[in-house]
């Protein structure tokens, strides 16, 4: 087995980052064009009777609903996923309930800390595996067995699943993130901020419900930054 020198390894990693950044941007732009191409064609050439006022009203409604998420999600996911996996994750979707748990489990399994090169490569491979399993399961359980499977599942089970499956997944993600990061102080700060926002701020100002996630994330970041333990200078 050939062992790379530190200089060669650094050069290879830099080339990898340049390549993923270039193709990641191009892929995301292509995905954006494909996503909006169909609706734009219908609006401009479909004779649907949509006025410019209706169009911009719809755009404003989408901005008002999702603008905070557009800001919060990259800040939240980047420290765990790394740059290359971010392109994968936002192209695939279902980040919080599928890709992020896969990444955390992979990083924990091999002892890779998020934010390191090893952790970033683990995130890339975990997302590839999660996407492959997802596509295979869709083919089998939806494409082939979907109608039959729904017909044999008791109605009570599906009702319970709708209520509890998302909290169960998110709870597992939170626990896995805590185990992976092993940072007690930021964890306690995050829980304290969330509890204050949920049970103190929102009852006082219900109108902030739409931006409560952003308040929790940004508040946790700011407080954790000022409460961080300063590194001791070397003797």
> Highest mean pLDDT: which of 21-30, 97-106, 202-211?
21-30
Crossing angle between the packed helical segments 52-92 and 100-110, to the nearest 10 degrees: 20
The pTM assigned to this predicted structure is 0.67
Lookup result for tokens 């924990």: 108
Structure tokens, 230? 């300063």
Nearest to 217 by CA among 194, 201, 184: 194
pLDDT digits (tens, 9 = 90+) for 30-63: 998 988 888 888 888 878 788 888 888 888 877 7
Cα 163 to Cα 151, 166, 168, 172, 198, distances in angstroms: 20, 7, 10, 16, 20
Does the pLDDT at position 235 exceed 60?
Answer: no
Does the pLDDT at position 156 exceed 50?
Answer: yes
Lookup result for tokens 């309930």: 97
Crossing angle between the packed helical segments 212-226 and 184-196, to the nearest 10 degrees: 140
pLDDT digits (tens, 9 = 90+) for 168-211: 777 877 777 777 777 888 888 888 999 999 899 999 998 888 77
Q: Which residues contact 17 (CB under 8 A, 6 or more apart)?
A: 83, 84
The mean pLDDT value of the chain amounts to 83
C-alpha span between 158 and 153 (Å, rounded): 7
Do the Cβ atoms of 208 and 215 come closer than 8 Å? yes
User: Confidence band (pLDDT; 50, 70, 90) for 234?
Assistant: very low
């Amino acid at each position: 087995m050939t062992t790379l020198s530190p200089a060669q390894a650094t050069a290879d990693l830099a080339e990898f980052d340049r390549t993923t950044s270039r193709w990641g941007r191009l892929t995301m732009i292509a995905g954006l064009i494909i996503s909006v191409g169909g609706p734009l064609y219908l609006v401009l050439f479909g004779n649907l009777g949509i006025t410019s006022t209706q169009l911009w009203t719809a755009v404003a409604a989408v901005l008002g609903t999702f603008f905070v998420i557009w800001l919060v999600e990259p800040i939240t996911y980047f420290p765990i996923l790394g740059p290359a996996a971010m392109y994968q994750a936002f192209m695939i979707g279902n980040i919080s309930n599928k890709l992020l748990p896969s990444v955390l489990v992979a990083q924990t399994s091999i002892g890779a800390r998020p934010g390191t090169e090893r952790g970033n490569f683990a995130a890339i491979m975990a997302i590839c595996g999660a996407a492959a399993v997802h596509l295979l399961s869709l083919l089998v359980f939806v494409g082939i067995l979907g109608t039959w499977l729904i017909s044999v599942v008791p109605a009570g089970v599906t009702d319970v699943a709708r209520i509890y499956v998302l909290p169960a997944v998110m709870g597992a993600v939170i626990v896995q993130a805590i185990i992976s990061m092993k940072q007690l102080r930021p964890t306690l700060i995050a829980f304290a901020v969330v509890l204050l926002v949920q049970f103190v701020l929102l009852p006082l100002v219900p109108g902030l419900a739409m931006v409560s996630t952003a308040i929790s994330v940004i508040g946790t970041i700011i407080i954790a930054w000022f409460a961080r333990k300063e590194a001791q200078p070397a003797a």
